């Protein structure tokens, strides 16, 4: 049952706020950093450990999904093999009823295996969407690094040589890098949300398709089993003649018809309207910058906000490839 948790994060609590508050190079989309609990890491070391980690996590997720796809493919393949084995075993029992029922149950099992294989393909399709996010993450990384490198250089130069004429050039470079990064970050958030949603919509649809079709098949499978008379016989008594072969064929026809007429029906899931929001705010209103409970962390976010301002006016819509 699901009463274990309403979150499955293993590091719930301290470490997340540490990581979130430690870097000013956030994507500009988070509601506000959490300031508490920095443990003395420099920005540079956090960038070294956390930013690649971000990309690595999705890489691992995609790899694990591949393992999952493989497991379901193997299950589908094995299921089809089992179906044939069951049928052939039944034939060799020389029991007409067992032979007929096992053969037809085998047909059902084989189709259940095919559905398992289709499910694996659905998961693989979802996986492709996640790859689009990972690829964007990877391409955004150099943009962040370039901007941060210039910012670091400015900081160093200000300490060593506050009057250096190179500072002016670097500040100009920083504005350009920030503008470029602002576009990159917008691309990242757009691709991330779009593809994340798509990926799991594809996956849930595949889950529902496999499930509903396998329910149909299993129910017809149960009808087939009912054709098998399992009343015990006494030694020497003959079994009743098996007379249900045509009924069995009809059940398979019914199953085939049910599969053919099956269509994916999904409730229209709508973005909740503002009236139902727990914040009471209208979700259609353009949200302002984070305030209220998060205001204590503004000092950490100032730096990145200044950078966003420097690119104001660049309002071209940035959306990823569909």
Q: Which of 82, 33, 202, 74 is nearest to 131 (CA)?
A: 202
Task: Among 138, 156, 249, 306, indicate the residue that binds a second copy (CB under 8 A).
Answer: 249
Q: Is 168 in the site for a second copy (CB under 8 A)?
A: no
- Please state the closest distance from residue 163 (CB atom) to a second copy, in A: 32
Contact 244, 229 (CB under 8 A): no
Q: Is 139 in the site for a second copy (CB under 8 A)?
A: no
- Please state the closest distance from residue 169 (CB atom) to a second copy, in A: 24
40: which DSSP letter? S
Task: Among 24, 136, 189, 297, indicate the residue that binds a second copy (CB under 8 A).
Answer: 189
- The H or E element that residue 126 is part of is helix 96-160
Q: Is 44 in the site for a second copy (CB under 8 A)?
A: no
Q: Is 152 in the site for a second copy (CB under 8 A)?
A: no
Specify whether the backbone of 26 is left (phi greater than 0), alpha (psi in -120 to 50) or beta.
beta
Of 164 and 273, CB closest to a second copy: 273
Q: Is 128 in the site for a second copy (CB under 8 A)?
A: no
Separation in Å, CA 247 to CA 226, 227, 239, 242, 243: 11, 8, 19, 11, 8
Distance CA 147, CA 178 (A): 6
Of 167 and 194, CB closest to a second copy: 194
Nearby residues of 217 by Cβ (< 8 Å), 6 or more positions away: 108, 111, 112, 115, 255, 259
Task: Among 46, 107, 151, 177, indicate the residue that binds a second copy (CB under 8 A).
Answer: 107
Task: Among 159, 168, 246, 275, indicate the residue that binds a second copy (CB under 8 A).
Answer: 246
Q: Is 85 in the site for a second copy (CB under 8 A)?
A: yes
């Amino acid at each position: 049952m699901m009463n274990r948790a309403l979150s499955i994060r293993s590091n719930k609590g301290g470490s997340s706020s540490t990581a979130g508050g430690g870097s000013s190079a956030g994507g500009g989309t988070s509601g506000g950093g959490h300031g508490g609990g920095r443990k003395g890491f420099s920005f540079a070391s956090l960038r070294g450990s956390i930013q690649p980690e971000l990309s690595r996590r999705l890489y691992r997720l995609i790899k694990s999904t591949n393992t999952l796809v493989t497991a379901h493919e193997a299950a589908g393949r094995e299921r089809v093999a089992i179906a044939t084995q069951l049928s052939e075993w039944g034939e060799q029992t020389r029991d007409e009823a067992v032979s007929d029922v096992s053969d037809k149950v085998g047909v059902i099992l084989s189709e259940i295996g095919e559905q398992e294989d289709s499910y694996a393909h659905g998961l693989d399709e979802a996986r492709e969407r996640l790859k689009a996010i990972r690829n964007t993450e990877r391409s955004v990384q150099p943009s962040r690094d370039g901007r941060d490198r210039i910012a670091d250089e400015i900081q160093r130069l200000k300490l060593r040589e506050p009057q250096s004429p190179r500072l002016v050039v670097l500040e100009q470079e920083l504005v350009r890098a920030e503008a470029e990064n602002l576009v990159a970050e917008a691309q990242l958030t757009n691709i991330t949300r779009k593809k994340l949603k798509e990926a799991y919509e594809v996956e849930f649809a595949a889950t529902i398709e496999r499930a509903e079709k396998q329910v149909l098949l299993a129910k017809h499978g149960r009808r087939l089993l009912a054709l098998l008379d399992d009343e015990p016989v006494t030694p020497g008594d003959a079994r009743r003649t098996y007379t249900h072969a045509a009924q069995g064929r009809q059940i398979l026809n019914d199953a085939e018809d049910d599969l053919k007429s099956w269509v994916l029906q999904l409730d229209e899931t709508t973005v909740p309207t503002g009236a139902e929001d727990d914040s009471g705010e209208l979700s259609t209103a353009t949200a302002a910058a984070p305030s209220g409970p998060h205001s204590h962390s503004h000092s950490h976010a100032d730096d990145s906000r200044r950078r966003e301002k420097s690119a104001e006016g660049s309002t071209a819509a940035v959306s990823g490839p569909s």
